[in-house]
Structure 1
């Protein structure tokens, strides 16, 4: 069920579905409402009809979006995609900007669901491990930043169901096997390259290339090379279905000049401040160059924003000169700039959850550039 904090959208959906509904009923209805007039809408309409739901009682797509969507980029759609491990919708922003239409979203974290639904007027379906691929409408491109978990040792080659069982990648593979999308874009930490002496990556590529029959390219990209004021390296997988004949893919070229954080630092922002006691006893206890301190004159990208930023870690943290105590944490708007989110993106959760969500997100401009290359490569197939 939606969290207690969720307001207008949840209240309205409850009036339509009643109180005694499961989480996925809200997902089905909100996806249908957002997709009215598209082939994917009929997929969800059939589910609602089976539950004896009167579709004629619902508002139009435009009316629904106007009432409940805070951030809905307008763009003529040329392809469909699904958003797995969606978080707060970084992949979605990037794909929509390149003409994509999201037809399915999955995210298990309730706080992230709240931010996602507030901005897109769609409740994500929950735990991917409980979703049958047949319950997902057809789509062109699969996207997702999947968590890296331990894989079984290579051992006997008995197929991905043996090698990846118990990992979240297993469920991505199941969906790809069932739905056969034209392409996929996956993201992970660069440490995956060396994880388990490279065996984990070997298994993933073996499954994608040999068993699922996709031409796959991988590359570690730094967000700072794509106009994002943050040093953030991530490993990206791009795959095309073999029968499309796209056996080579060029990742986007890096910018020559990096963008500094200074232009995004807010002037006269008072908080959240770091206490003088904490500064003396911990932050500046050593003269070792840590932590990173920024201000309006800082002409360099900041360190990687971590999901645990709120814990004020002196080695990995970046803090701002200013505020009531002379040193403060990043503001919401500064976090948006660091991750490439637009200023009008709504964050309806606590400050701690805000840091956690941005720290777990993708850098939007990087994914936007990669997805643009994917769309161009698909070209006449769209």
Structure 2
């Protein structure tokens, strides 16, 4: 199948689609760094850097499946989703690009990824009705990336849409969980003493609580609900757009590296990312987990 990707972050939807046997023929994002990174890893696709509200859909090549990851920040609990916030209202409106693209091209299949709160958006019923008015039947499903073999717990909504009389019935098989220990390298990274001048009291408290539960080696989050840390023998928590996870090893600690975050997201080890860590982590935190995209698209191919 030929695919287009209204992509987010590092381009995990395209990577997963390629793993599933699709040919990605076109990809677009509003962030030039993300477009450049996608082009390095998917050189066979046409690339456009633009606001998709102004997209020229007649210039997009024909395709069998549209992949899309509208901005999630306005829906996410982590960022707030109140109406009346101009930034969040604008980010939510990117979902209408899916409608305008589908209206022009009418691909047989589309898959939209977002946070589960997307379905609680005030305008979601209108958005869904717009897709249904074009003959699409929707199958929403929430998938934890850990269930598809990524060493990360990350729940995301995937809405599979088919232009047919009946929705697709998907039977996504769960895979064995992969622990964080599979990618943490204790011989690499910029380690620092835990006890050092200026270390925040809250950080020391979290580490002390984690040590009581998990011993000398574990993962400690700088924000979120994991106040007692997380065992290395289970998948890591959600990779976000800024540094969140620290690796604790005895009396030393360091933040997760880009290479480790890439592995936690399920990208191939040779996937090229920006040299700047903040930029690379931002892209990874915004990306679709390739292994989830792969399994969903393979399951779609099985049932259509």
Deviations 1:241-283 (A, max 9, x none): 12xx55332141223x421101211131132658733544341
1:124 match: secondary structure:
strand
- Higher relative contact order, chain-length normalized (CA < 8 Å, sep 6+): 2
Shift of 1:339: 0.3
| 2:164 corresponds to 1:237 | no
The whole-number CA distance in structure 2 between the counterparts of 1:190 and 1:165 is: 16
Is 1:132 aligned with 2:52?
no
* 5+ long unaligned stretches in structure 1: 1-78, 154-163, 310-316
TM-score by length of 1: 0.65
CA distance in 2, matches of 1:348, 1:280: 30
Shift of the 142–186 alpha-carbon distance from structure 1 to 2, 3 Å rule, reads same
Determine the C-alpha separation between the residues in 2 that align with 1:82 and 1:213: 20
User: Are the equivalent residues in 2 in contact too, given 1:88–1:361 (CA < 8 A)?
Assistant: yes
Pairing 1:233-272 to 2, within 5 Å after superposition: 233-242=155-164, 245-255=165-175, 257-271=176-190
Deviation at 1:117, TM superposition (A): 2.0
Relative distance call for 1:174 and 1:270 in structure 2 (3 A) is closer
The match for 1:344 among 237, 250, 270 is 270
**Are 1:180 and 2:106 counterparts?**
yes
Aligned to 1:307: 241
| Equivalent position SS for 2:272 | coil
**Number of residue pairs matched by the alignment:** 273
Aligned partner of 1:319 in structure 2 is 246
Q: Does 1:213 align with 2:139?
A: no
Match of residue 332 from structure 1: 258
Shift of 1:368: 0.6
In the alignment, structure 1 residue 355 sits paired with structure 2 residue 289: no
Given that residues 268 and 322 in structure 1 are in contact (C-alpha distance below 8 angstroms), is that contact kept between their aligned partners in structure 2?
no
**Bigger fraction of residues in helix:** 1
Change over 3 Å in CA distance of 1:194–1:284 after alignment to 2: farther
Q: Tell me the TM-score normalised to structure 2 length.
A: 0.80
* Equivalence map 1:1-382=2 (5 Å): 79-121=1-43, 124-127=47-50, 128-148=52-72, 149=74, 167-195=93-121, 199-209=122-132, 211-242=133-164, 245-255=165-175, 257-271=176-190, 273=192, 276-285=196-205, 291=221, 298-309=232-243, 317-322=244-249, 326-378=252-304
Cα RMSD (Å):
2.8
Post-superposition shift, 1:166?
A: 8.2
